[in-house]
């Protein structure tokens, strides 16, 4: 018993690790990527971990919904400030766009030298099918109340007014993103020109020079350096439903949705060469 107690009290500090992997928000038809709804329980369990020295978040995301990025980041910040606990973010392959928004919830951000970091911008992509349906002999009919109700309908010719409205929305969201980065990174990015926020991506090594990250390193190496060789990294897993645990899917309908969603998700990752 004496030896057990000695070992128990000699144990190192604990750092719970939250993993954020994938596209943020809705992905394709009926499939969700990373959302606060799905991640909140894991986030709260991480901050309820006893005798923790810090909380770590490992990020591998090309971005996605700015709303879900902001919601998850805000939840992490609220708990960190409530408990006065430092948060460390570790960028893996990619922490871009919404992924970087999420990384800024941390007090300290690290990335591998070859990680892709940044993309502080807003994007909206779609398709136009007007010529296709014309060749097929299909007539598009829209009945609406409200001039903007059918804004950017993919089966109708693009309206310059619709583009102007969308641009205004994007600029508003972009301003929110820039303000968040400035608030969280502060003096570390200094008075950098706006090119820091033009949607450009950088390697993890270059991101250190720009102040977007604090150093080059990985989760295990940095946390051992900060908290000692005996630090215990405790992965916090996201709870899944019984069918997901047993078969890996929620229902048969999810299989078809997952195929379509995977195609769209692949397109998001491909922006960063992955």
Task: Note the pLDDT tens digit of each residue in 209-239.
Answer: 999 999 999 999 999 999 999 999 999 998 7
CA distance 117 to 213: 9
Q: What is the pLDDT of residue 31?
A: 56
Give 108's strand partners: 88
Find the mean pLDDT for residues 100-122.
94
Residue 20 has pLDDT above 80, yes or no: yes
CA 71 to chain centre: 10
Distance, CA of 183 to CA of 107 (rounded, Å) = 11
Each residue of 259-273: pLDDT tens digit?
Answer: 445 555 555 656 655
Average pLDDT, the chain: 82
**Cα gap 55→43, rounded to integer Å:** 10
The token duo for 91 is: 């960028």
Highest mean pLDDT among 150-154, 189-193, 218-222, 248-252 belongs to 218-222
Looking at per-residue pLDDT, the higher value among 243 and 97 belongs to 97
Nearest to 112 by CA among 235, 202, 13: 202
Q: How far is CA 57 from CA 45, 105, 238, in A?
A: 13, 9, 13
Could you tell me the pLDDT band of residue 13, with boundaries at 50, 70 and 90? very high
pLDDT score at 242: 43
Q: What is the pLDDT of residue 126?
A: 63
pTM for the structure as a whole: 0.80
- Radius of gyration (C-alpha) of the chain in whole angstroms: 22
CATH architecture of 2-119+200-270: Alpha-Beta Complex (3.90)
Please tell me which residue, 196 or 206, carries the higher pLDDT value.
206
Mean local confidence (pLDDT), 33-43: 93
pLDDT of residue 245: 46
Q: For the chain, which residues make up each domain, given as ranges?
A: 2-119+200-270, 121-186
- Mean of the pLDDT values across residues 37-48? 96
pLDDT bin (cut points 50, 70, 90) of residue 71 is very high
Least confident of 1-5, 74-78, 96-100, 137-141: 1-5
User: Which segments of the chain does DSSP mark as H helices, in order?
Assistant: 2-10, 36-48, 66-83, 98-103, 130-135, 160-185, 204-210, 219-227, 242-247, 252-270
Q: Report d(CA 151, CA 162) in Å as an integer.
A: 6
Token pair 């929305």 in the structure block, residue: 169
Q: Do the Cβ atoms of 214 and 208 come closer than 8 Å?
A: yes
Selection from 85, 78, 19 nearest residue 50 by Cα: 85
Query: 211, 203, 154: which is closest to 182 by C-alpha?
Result: 211
Q: What integer is the mean pLDDT of 63-82?
A: 96
Q: Is 153 helix (H, G, I), strand (E, B) or coil?
A: coil
pLDDT at 4 > cutoff 70: no
The three-state secondary structure class of 134 is: helix
3-state SS, 185-214, equals HHHHCCCCCHHHHCCCEEEHHHHHHHCCCC
Helix residue ranges per DSSP H, 28-159: 36-48, 66-83, 98-103, 130-135
User: Predicted confidence band at 97 (pLDDT cuts at 50, 70, 90)?
Assistant: very high
């Amino acid at each position: 018993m004496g030896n057990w107690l000695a070992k128990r009290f000699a144990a190192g500090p604990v750092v719970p690790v939250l993993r954020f992997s994938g596209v943020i928000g809705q992905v394709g038809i009926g499939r969700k990527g990373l959302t606060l709804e799905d991640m909140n329980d894991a986030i709260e369990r991480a901050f309820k971990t006893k005798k923790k020295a810090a909380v770590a978040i490992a990020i591998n995301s090309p971005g996605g919904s700015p709303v879900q990025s902001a919601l998850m980041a805000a939840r992490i910040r609220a708990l960190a400030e409530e408990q006065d606990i430092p948060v460390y973010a570790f960028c893996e392959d990619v922490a871009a766009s919404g992924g970087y928004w999420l990384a800024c919830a941390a007090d300290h951000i690290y990335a591998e030298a070859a990680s892709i970091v940044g993309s502080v911008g807003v994007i909206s992509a779609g398709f136009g099918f007007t010529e296709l349906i014309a060749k097929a002999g299909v007539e598009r009919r829209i009945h609406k109340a409200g001039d903007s109700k059918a804004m950017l309908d993919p089966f109708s010719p693009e309206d310059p007014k619709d583009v102007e409205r969308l641009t205004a929305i994007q600029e508003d969201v972009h301003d929110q993103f820039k303000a968040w980065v400035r608030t969280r990174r502060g003096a570390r990015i200094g008075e950098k020109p706006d090119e820091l926020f033009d949607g450009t991506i950088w390697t993890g090594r270059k991101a250190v020079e720009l102040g977007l990250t604090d150093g080059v390193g990985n989760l295990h190496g940095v946390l051992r350096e900060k908290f000692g060789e005996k630090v215990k990294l405790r992965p916090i897993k996201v709870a899944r439903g019984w069918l997901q645990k047993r078969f890996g899917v929620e229902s048969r309908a999810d299989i078809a949705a997952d195929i379509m969603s995977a195609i769209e998700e692949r397109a998001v990752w491909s922006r960063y060469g992955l």
